[in-house]
Amino acid sequence: RLIVATVAVAILGIAAAIALFPLRPEIDGLAGVAYWMALALAASAMPVQLPRGSVVSVGAAPVIGAAILGGPLAGAAVGILGTVDLREIRGRIPWYGTLFNHAELAISGFAAGIAFTAMANLLAGASFTFFSPESFLAALIAGMVFLATNWSLTLLAVATRTGAPIQAIWSQDAGAVAISVVGLVPLAWLMAQTFLLPNGLGWWATPLFAVPLFTTRVAYARYVETRELFEQTIEALSKAVDARDPYTRNHPSRVSHIAEAMCRVMRLPENEIERIKWAGLLHDIGKIGIRDNVLLK
């Protein structure tokens, strides 16, 4: 039902964009849309899977940039066609997952274009120019709309697929990379400004933003690697306790699981639940240092 509803909204959004919001001249027509699609494809090629199952990439920046320059139609087109990644090409994602992913990005790109157009009309009206403080403010709001729409649909999909609470997914996935993801918004505005440089210079200069985009992608990957190493260390310590006292094997994991369930009933904050869950795994760590004649008596 979620996939069908998302695809239906995406189709309606694209139809509305075609009928009501023609491409703005700043994006240089269909050639410009294809250019931004290529940028988005390059940025989306290597996504990073976060601990709870959601996926993040730096492809949001070109999609937001296209929505700023070309309006809702450009944002939707780049969102739906410019975000293919290697997992889809290799068949690691089922067709309905791919359909949902591209539909929700089309919705997000369309919403960003609507937000930018509305804010441009509200802030400056007919005197609006892309090289103005009003343009930057409109781009920030459009970027926030894009990220809010994108993450809302992503969190809902992951929660539906895995059964995990949305709060847990937000805390361990979206919340952990939120600052760097928000940082893509001013970068998207700078990309759009660079594209507008005269004499075709923008077409050559905009790809230089691949460097900060790649740096951001590396930061995502380092976060995932660090967290995985941390969780593996805790798990290894818990297994060491089991090996030390086989009589209570799996007791730490049961304590951790029950404590987490109790915390959710108590509606504790997600970061506190996570700390208590880890504490449950490690609460008997002192057994490792107890002599056998005491521990096993």
Predicted pLDDT of residue 296: 77
Q: Give me the pLDDT at residue 50, please.
A: 80
The closest alpha carbon to 169, from 150, 152, 155, belongs to 155
Residue 114 burial (C-beta neighbours within 10 Å; 0-12, 13-18, 19+)? buried
Residues in the chain: 297
Contact 63, 79 (CB under 8 A): yes
Burial class of residue 123, CB neighbours in 10 A (0-12, 13-18, 19+): middle
Identity of the residue numbered 215: T
* 13 pLDDT higher than 80: yes
* pLDDT attached to residue 19: 92
DSSP state of 132: S
| Tens of pLDDT, residues 99-123 | 999 999 999 999 999 999 999 888 7
Average pLDDT over residues 36-45: 91
pLDDT at position 62: 94
What's the pLDDT score for residue 126? 58
List Cα–Cα distances, 22 to 203, 209, 280, in angstroms: 22, 27, 57
Which helix (H) or strand (E) segment holds residue 108: the answer is helix 95-123
